[in-house]
A and B are shown apart, each in its own frame.
Chain A
Amino acid sequence: MAEVTPRITAPYLEQFSHNIVRITGKVRQLRGEQATIDAAGSITVHLTRDSHLQLNHAVELIGKVQQDLSVRVLTATDLGPEGSIDFAAIDAIVDATHRYHEIFYNKGEQ
């Protein structure tokens, strides 16, 4: 597994295509091996057999951004009902991650 997994939201997908990233979002739709999560925008994710997503739960995914900007999940961590997670804080971290990337990831290695 990649040592560094920058936290992103939907608007960053293009910038990080073919990279392994970390996304915290809300589970919106489950369709077998595919799901839609909301992380400042809609993201289609391809699940593994052992990723157990639940509707309206918050989830933290580590996955690889594909050519079509969907995300192939490597690991998924259920964070409980989405109401218990402060998504304003999550957005603030994503912002800080890229604004002050010197303490989060090395820019240019993507």
Chain B
Amino acid sequence: MSYGGDYSTTSYGAQGGGGGGGFMPGSQPESGGAKRSYGKDTLRPVTIKQLIEAHHPNPDAEHFMIDGGETTQVTFVGQIRNVSMQTTNITYKLDDGTGIIEVKVWIDSTDDGATEKQKQLGEQAYARVWGRLKAFNNKRHVGANIIRPITDFNEVSYHLLEATAVHLHFTRGPPESLQAKGGASGGAANGAAGSFDQGVGGTKVPPSASMAARKVFQAIKESPQTNEGLHMQEIASRLNMDPSEVMKAGEELGSLGLVYTTVDDHTWAILDV
């Protein structure tokens, strides 16, 4: 499940009649300047504070780092504090309670629904934005692909909780229970950061793994050892498990790509990627 996909269907689907038509031309400057592969693009729900504090690896970099994850496209909500009409764009000041950031939307003169939408995006109104964080003259703004009014205030709650869930996913890893259940909220959070899973949660045992494999993995991870890893007998005595059980668990972990054999077939070390 791709987060980007989800969002594009709902947003474009719902907004197609109104301002959606303006999206394709509006996005052209983005795709023209993009040297990075789109396979790496992610869409992350964030708070404005996260945007203000995001680490910019270098002044020319097209991505920012948030919680150690590469971030390109972002989505957030906010209350409009100021609207300023420029010749080529409209600049909104958005405030979500965590900070204030400028959002620039290119004016699409061919979009007939634009003025109607514009009316709904007045001061004090809540809006949702999809766009890309940019740094220009040491000042940050968001170049928005889409900005649309929020009509159901619960979307603000939803977004802030989603941003929190994704932040926790990056900083603490996915909770086991959420992964196993794949519940509504957990599913969204996991999906959102799905493309980062391998990078960040590299040493997570998948929910499908057996209990024995989990215990053995934990034991190897937590025991002091040389780079030769831990021998089957030692794991067995530490865990009070039958050596043959440990053997099976070790093979299971090996086939999952979580451990590798070192000096012989019965000694494993954590494969840390």
Contact = CB atoms under 8 A, between A and B. Distances in A.
Contact of A22 (B50, B97, B167): B97
A11 B161 CA distance: 20
A104 B157 contact: no
Contacts of B161: 89, 92-93, 96
B164 interface: yes
A5 B124 contact: no
Contact of A5 (B50, B97, B163): B97
A90 B159 CA distance: 11
Interface string A1-26: 10111110000000000000010000
Interface string A92-109: 110011001011110000
Contacts, number: 60
Chain B: interface size category: 20 to 34
Nearest to A96: B164
A10 to B, nearest CB: 17
Interface stretch (A32-40, A41-49, A63-71, A72-80): A72-80
B100 interface: yes
A89 B158 contact: yes
B68 to A, nearest CB: 13
Contact of A89 (B49, B95, B157): B157
B157 A103 contact: no
B154 interface: yes
B168 A100 contact: yes
B91 interface: no
Given A3-B99, A6-B97, A7-B97, A93 B153 contact: no
Interface string B73-91: 0000001010000000000
Contacts of A84: 152-154
Nearest to A99: B164
B79 A103 contact: no
A93 B157 contact: yes
B153 A79 contact: yes
B98 interface: yes
A84 to B, nearest CB: 8
A58 interface: yes
A103 B154 contact: no
9 contacts: A3-B95, A4-B99, A77-B79, A79-B153, A84-B153, A86-B154, A90-B157, A103-B164, A104-B97
Given A77-B79, A100-B164, A105-B49, 19 more contacts: A1-B81, A1-B95, A3-B95, A5-B95, A5-B97, A6-B97, A7-B97, A85-B153, A85-B154, A86-B157, A89-B157, A93-B157, A96-B160, A96-B164, A100-B168, A103-B46, A103-B164, A104-B47, A104-B97
